[in-house]
Amino acid sequence: MNERLQKLSAWMKDQDADVSFISSPDNVFYLSGFYTDPHERLLGLAVFQDEEPFLVCPAMERNDAQNAGWEYEIIGFKDTDNPWEMIQTSIAKRLPKTAQNIAIEKEHLNVERYEELKRIFPDAVQFISAEEKMRALRLIKDESELKALREAAALADYAIEVGASEIQEGKTELEVLAAIEFELKKKGVKQMSFSTMVLTGENAASPHGNPGQTKIKKGDFVLFDLGVVVDRYCSDITRTLAYGEVTEKQKEIYDTVLKAQLAAIEASKPGTACSTVDLAARDVITAAGYGEHFPHRLGHGLGINVHEYPSIMETSPLRLEEGMVFTIEPGIYVPGLAGVRIEDDVHVTASGLEVLTKYPKELQIIR
Amino acid sequence: MNERLQKLSAWMKDQDADVSFISSPDNVFYLSGFYTDPHERLLGLAVFQDEEPFLVCPAMERNDAQNAGWEYEIIGFKDTDNPWEMIQTSIAKRLPKTAQNIAIEKEHLNVERYEELKRIFPDAVQFISAEEKMRALRLIKDESELKALREAAALADYAIEVGASEIQEGKTELEVLAAIEFELKKKGVKQMSFSTMVLTGENAASPHGNPGQTKIKKGDFVLFDLGVVVDRYCSDITRTLAYGEVTEKQKEIYDTVLKAQLAAIEASKPGTACSTVDLAARDVITAAGYGEHFPHRLGHGLGINVHEYPSIMETSPLRLEEGMVFTIEPGIYVPGLAGVRIEDDVHVTASGLEVLTKYPKELQIIR
């Protein structure tokens, strides 16, 4: 078994868990090397303390799983099969008695599948969460993961560069967005981390606006929030550029966000609590009088999932460790006035941070 | 309350359900008119038999919910709040005694949130599934939904037209894909129904391949599978075009898939069982000797979600009704030889089917 599966099995021994049923595509990929998202169809990876693991996936994906390097049993079910019966049989081959302690992903597994598992394991004493352990495993990135994250960040930088070059009077948000994704696809990008955001004017003043037919005009901020997936690892960058003149008030907001973002970077090194990182930025924004206009956490972990553990927020006592990768993205949103957010992807090193996204952050005014 | 909420409340009276907690973005949108996907953050709509419903969403989306027309209570929580306590308070205001019968989406709600609900409702006698009712509501499309579905289908046709015009010796799958999405974005398309598939040669021979740097060459099939979202409603089309010459065997496979697809369309009208529709196509493929190379169901319901109820498969006894919209998409995948799938979106009318996707289906050979 690979090292990741071994670590999960070792944890299961500590927890006295007979079987882990891992069902989120991200964790299945992390443990098996095989990624698929079969949507409403079942996907699962059953891991044991000592027995060989097995994979459950739609029959038509069996070859893909093997090609991805999965060398253990695969239960490939057709739409007309009942995969739970097949799972029950494969588990019975491995466990002499009914499992009593089952680890599942409580934040992922739905109630229907939970009830199926309860049916398969009628004597189950308890269901415990495997999520905390999976998060702990995924929290610290190894070199192969960092390589993908760096490449994804470099492509995100390139995307902003394209976006900046597209800013022009009268162009719509969607036109700029199309140009960015077109250039990325030409570079071989197959997937964005999430729906690319290009927001201008009023639209940028909502922390979760949606790009549309709004046209860029002089005096507007243009906010880009996007990410690229490389080898299944995500980047996530935000830059806010100005078009034409900016008012003193707009400049004040921009400079406050930038100051906050740099303060959070400065505060981050192994041992710093996530809450301290959040507050380093939040205090700058609050002191400038914009506290109520920064309604979200400072950032989030980044890896296979674009939003993953940990949350960088004022209530998180978790301390930074070497190998963690997360975003730092303070923002100020004043309806009718401006929306500014600046976001980098950062990697905790022995002495501080490696900032993975490198597009400049000083206020850039396109004329 | 709108008609959809009224229907859910009426169903709750029949079921003696005190509260429905709806948490999937699609169903929240269907009932409230407000769409958001807050990822790991909580989203919920609490519906009662007679009391006013309320919405739970991240605080920063409160304005968006109001702008979408939601006129009842909104619990807007910050990342530092515990939304479950806020939910408990809002429910207590409406229900004089603890709820005993709670409707949830068992296929969507995760175990963690299920356990939170069990904590809030310690006396809950049972959790029932609201999913079947939501599916029944969403199964029959009204005129406003059909309008969006028709527009989405027309844009899918246009996408295939662009794709066909891009087929050229040496172009990669991703280059063709980029060109399609670029042209769609210029037409105002904000979202695809799912990751666009452009697959050629060997890649097309897997029913769920992924587009990459494979280059189009003479003698290959090029398979497009894509969809467009219009006003939150999805289309989903597949066409397989040939580039250069095709062999007799390739032509035989293509013609078999087309014959199967037309047979399923011919078989569909109000009263026909979904199983009959599936078998109409499957029998053609089996008779031609390719049964084992058609490993998936014939199609799926289409609407807010690109894969929704019902499944068009050989085990489904559900009968077609006027207003249903689904896909018909038989395929034959022979590794090393060819992959062909032809997919239309169809709407059940009083007398048969309206085929929403209109791009031609006769074998098109690009030279």
Beta bridge partners of B19: B48, B102
Contact B107 A110 (CB under 8 A): yes
pLDDT value of residue A167: 97
- pLDDT over 80 at B208, yes or no: no
- Structural domains of chain B in order of their starting residue, each with its CATH number: 3-138 (3.40.350.10), 143-366 (3.90.230.10)
Q: What is the pLDDT of residues B257-286, one digit of tens each?
A: 999 999 999 999 999 999 999 999 999 999
Mind telling me how many Å the CA of A295 is from chain B's nearest CA? 6
Nearest CA in chain A to B129: A112
Is A135 at the interface with chain B, CB within 8 A?
no
- Chain A neighbours among B 27-46 (CB < 8 Å)? 36, 39-40
Instruction: Per-residue pLDDT tens, chain A, 367 aa: give them.
Output: 689 999 999 999 999 999 999 999 999 999 999 999 888 899 999 999 999 999 999 998 999 999 999 999 999 999 889 999 999 999 999 998 878 899 999 999 999 999 999 998 888 779 999 999 999 999 999 999 999 999 999 999 999 999 999 999 999 999 999 999 999 988 889 899 998 999 998 888 877 678 888 999 999 999 999 999 999 999 999 999 999 989 999 999 999 999 999 999 999 999 999 999 999 999 999 999 999 999 999 999 999 999 999 999 999 999 999 999 999 999 999 988 889 999 999 999 999 999 999 999 999 999 9
Q: Mutating which of B111, B113, B166 best tests the A interface, going by the most A Cβ atoms within 10 A?
A: B111
Among A157, A158, A155, A362, residue whose Cα is nearest residue A257: A362
Q: What φ, ψ does residue B174 adopt, rounded to 5°? A: -70, -30
Q: Mutating which of B40, B41, B79 best tests the A interface, going by the most A Cβ atoms within 10 A?
A: B79
Residue pair B22/B28 in contact by the 8 Å Cβ criterion: yes
Among A154, A142, A140, residue whose Cα is nearest residue A230: A154
Contact B79 A311 (CB under 8 A): yes
Residue pair A30/A138 in contact by the 8 Å Cβ criterion: yes
Residue A201: Cβ-neighbour burial (10 angstroms; 0-12, 13-18, 19+): buried
Q: What φ, ψ does residue B348 adopt, rounded to 5°? A: -80, 120
Confidence of residue B229 (pLDDT cuts 50, 70, 90): very high
Is B129 at the interface with chain A, CB within 8 A?
yes
Is B224 at the interface with chain A, CB within 8 A?
no
Helix residue ranges per DSSP H, chain B: 3-15, 25-32, 62-67, 83-94, 111-120, 131-139, 143-166, 173-186, 248-267, 274-287
Confidence of residue B206 (pLDDT cuts 50, 70, 90): confident
The dihedral formed by the CA atoms of A133, A135, A140 and A141, expressed in degrees to the nearest 10: 120
Cis peptide, bond prior to residue A96, ω within 30 of zero: no
Q: What is the pLDDT of residues B64-108, one digit of tens each?
A: 999 999 999 999 999 889 999 999 999 999 998 878 899 999 999
pLDDT value of residue B337: 86
